[in-house]
Amino acid sequence: MSTDALVLGIETSCDETAVGIVRGRKLLANVISSSVEEHARFGGVIPEIASRAHLEAIQSVIKQALSDAKVSLKDIDALAVTAGPGLIGALIVGTSAAEGLALGLEKPLYGVNHLSAHIAVDSLDSDHKLDPAIALLVSGGHSSILQVNNLTSDVKTIGTTLDDAAGEAFDKVARILGLPFPGGPSIDKESENGDPTAILFPRSFTLPKDTEKHQYDFSFSGVKTAVARLMEATPSQNRADVAASFQEAVVDVLLIKALSAAKNSGIEHLIIAGGVAANRRLRQLAQERCEKAKINLRIPPTKLCTDNGAMVAALGSLAVSAGIAPSAVGISASSSSGINKPIF
């Protein structure tokens, strides 16, 4: 199949019903229907609500993506779908839709890893060399440092979170501060009026005694607890200062670990991906520190950091270009798949 194959990607791992269409590495369409407002009053994503929202939105999102790309279903060369990790009910909606289309169109289907797909979005609308790279993947459910030797076949986890993911910590601290869900954007906005040096929150696993055992691992439960105790003891604290100081602690740890991995591996490319990669302070500080360390930094556009169909289509397109065999009929959705299996 041509390296400029037209690939349609479906993403339904959490609360976004998303479809992207790419031709090779060129993005043609990226349509997202989010159910986040339906979850906001619960302070987190409710799996049953997410699954129902996917069922209601999937057909219209596919149609809109085809319209935006100015193509029809019969033009599609291959399909890709997130097969894991994610909410199992939500994943099944996406894989069922993708398999139905693949069978009906008699086209190959690739079940892809959600985490690898977040990194694959870096390939779109560019011609830069993709491998090797260190990837810092940060989202509501994942905080990992990955060594990407080949995005479709050789991705290794070298660091992960031992408790809360960064995005999860943002959600919990936002709740403590009385800010709306999702917490990442809320804290980012609140921090604009705060002093990031006002409060020195803990930076877990950054001391020499910790790095011996957890050199690239994360722990964000401690900083979350520190915020809770501070607000309980002194409720009059300036909320913007607390938000900015908390954000600074999380971003500092993420970059200390990621840059250390790049330096120690000898790899000069750092990709930051996932929903938290949209964070204003993370993007700013990453640019400053990477320039100082002479590391080539790549961060997707903000609109491609959160879950989207473009990233799924991008990984499917890379799999087609690499000559990887399509997934077998009857893809088994997996809620807890590791990064070491980019293509199912």
135-184 residue pLDDT tens? 999 988 889 999 999 999 999 999 999 999 999 999 999 999 999 999 99
Residue 333 falls inside a structural domain: no
The answer as to whether 336 is a domain residue is no
Q: What total of structural domains would you count in the chain?
A: 2
Residue 28 φ then ψ, to 5°:
-105, -35
**In this predicted model, what pLDDT tens digit does every residue of 65-118 receive, in sequence order?**
999 999 999 999 999 999 999 999 999 999 999 999 999 999 999 999 999 999
- Least Cα distance to 268 among 115, 116, 131 occurs for 131
Same domain, residue pair 189 and 295: yes
- Determine the average pLDDT of the residues in 293-321: 97
* Band (212; pLDDT cuts 50, 70, 90): confident
- Could you tell me if 112 and 194 lie in one domain? no
Strand partners for 160: 144
Q: Cα torsion at 280, 285, 288, 294 (round to 10°)?
A: -110
Q: Are residues 172 and 281 in the same domain?
A: yes
3-class state of residue 215 by DSSP: coil
Beta carbons of 172 and 164 less than 8 angstroms apart: yes
Reduced 3-state DSSP string for 223-261: HHHHHHHHHHHCCCCCHHHHHHHHHHHHHHHHHHHHHHH
* 164 in the same domain as 117: no
Q: Is 13 in the same domain as 101? A: yes
For the whole model, what pTM was predicted?
A: 0.94
**327 in any annotated domain:** no
User: Which residue range is the domain that position 55 belongs to?
Assistant: 6-124+305-321
Same domain assignment for residues 224 and 315: no
Kindly compute the dihedral angle of the four CA atoms of residues 323, 328, 333, 339, in this order, to the nearest 10 degrees. -30
Same domain, 79 and 160: no
* Residue 33 and residue 156 in one domain: no
Q: Which residue type sits at 216?
A: Y
Three-state DSSP state, 96: helix
- Residue 156 and residue 79 share a domain: no
Q: Is residue 337 part of a domain?
A: no
Whether 217 and 243 map to the same domain: the answer is: yes
